[in-house]
Amino acid sequence: EGGVGERVFSMVGFEPRVCRPVPGLLEPSENEVFWWNPELQHQIIWDRSMCCENEGGLEARELVQQSHKGALPQAQIDRLLALFDKDPKLVFHCGFSPQKLPDLVESTPVLAIEALLRLMPSSNMSLYLDALVNMPMSLHSMEVVNRLTTTVDLPTDFIHLYISNCITSCEVIKDKYMQNRLVRLVCVFLQSLIRNKIINARLHRDLLIEVQAFCIEFSRIREAAGLFRLLKTLE
């Protein structure tokens, strides 16, 4: 075994040399692609439109600022919506904000509805819904919520919380006349949600129990009694 090992070891470095001819150069052809090393002369081209609003953006921002201060005429609302249709991204940077939403809802609810529908894809949509649910209850806010529920799918938690706030607002108000008026508005609003199948017994069982208690508390009011009978049809 030792002899074989010595013979194997002795071959290291003394193996036969394999002849490898040097590869020849390939003759160039007329059809070959030539390698170019062009001298590039870079020029800085300034985009003068960058950071500058177009005329439509300036006009939209001015109209939105006016809407926060008071109701806009229908002609101005139509003009603003036309600008949004022309540039759908304009609604995201023309001044609509969750903090200003309550003012817009009270001054121009039609514009608030259209703006919220266009802002639905926004990642900040939850902030707009929070502002809507936390603002004082009014006819205009119920009008906005009712329109939204019939147009897009709103989170169930938002609907439940908004209705709970409506009920609480009716319960805490001291003036009887204003209380009765508010209860009627809430009852009509809830009847609309039920008839449009926004509220159903399967998804909103806890909410319906709360609404039934509300109807019993204000059973002296005709709209509350009618709402209670409508709730019984869902069972």
* pLDDT tens column, 24-68: 887 777 777 667 777 777 788 877 666 555 667 788 888 888 888
Q: What is the pLDDT of residue 2?
A: 47
Predicted pLDDT of residue 76: 92
Does residue 201 carry a pLDDT above 90? no
pLDDT of residue 235: 67
Q: Take residue 40 and report the two structure tokens written for it.
A: 């590039």
- The pLDDT, as a whole number, for residue 219 is 92
Q: What angle do CA 209, 210, 215 make, to 5 degrees?
A: 95
Closest CA to 107 of 144, 70, 75: 70
Q: How far apart are CA 100 and CA 97, in angstroms?
A: 5
User: pLDDT value at position 203?
Assistant: 54
pLDDT one-digit tens code per residue, 117-170? 999 988 889 999 999 999 988 889 999 999 999 899 888 889 889 999 999 999
Q: Supply φ then ψ for residue 218, to 5 degrees.
A: -115, 40
DSSP readout, the chain?
A: -HHHHHHHHHTTT-SPPPP-PPPPPPPP-TTSPPP------------TTTT---HHHHHHHHHHHHHHHSPPPHHHHHHHHHHHHH-GGGGGGSS--TTTHHHHHHH-HHHHHHHHHHTTTSTTHHHHHHHHHHSPP-HHHHHHHHHHHHHS---HHHHHHHHHHHHHHHHH---HHHHHHHHHHHHHHHHHHHHTTSS-TTT-HHHHHHHHHHHHHTTTSHHHHHHHHHHHTT-
Q: What is the pLDDT of residues 58-77, one digit of tens each?
A: 888 888 888 888 888 999 99
Q: 6 or 233, which is more confident?
A: 233
Out of 35-39, 76-80, 177-181, 200-204, least confident range: 200-204
Task: Please report, rounded to a whole number, the percentage of residues in the chain having pLDDT higher than 90.
Answer: 39
Instruction: Provide the whole-model pTM.
Output: 0.70
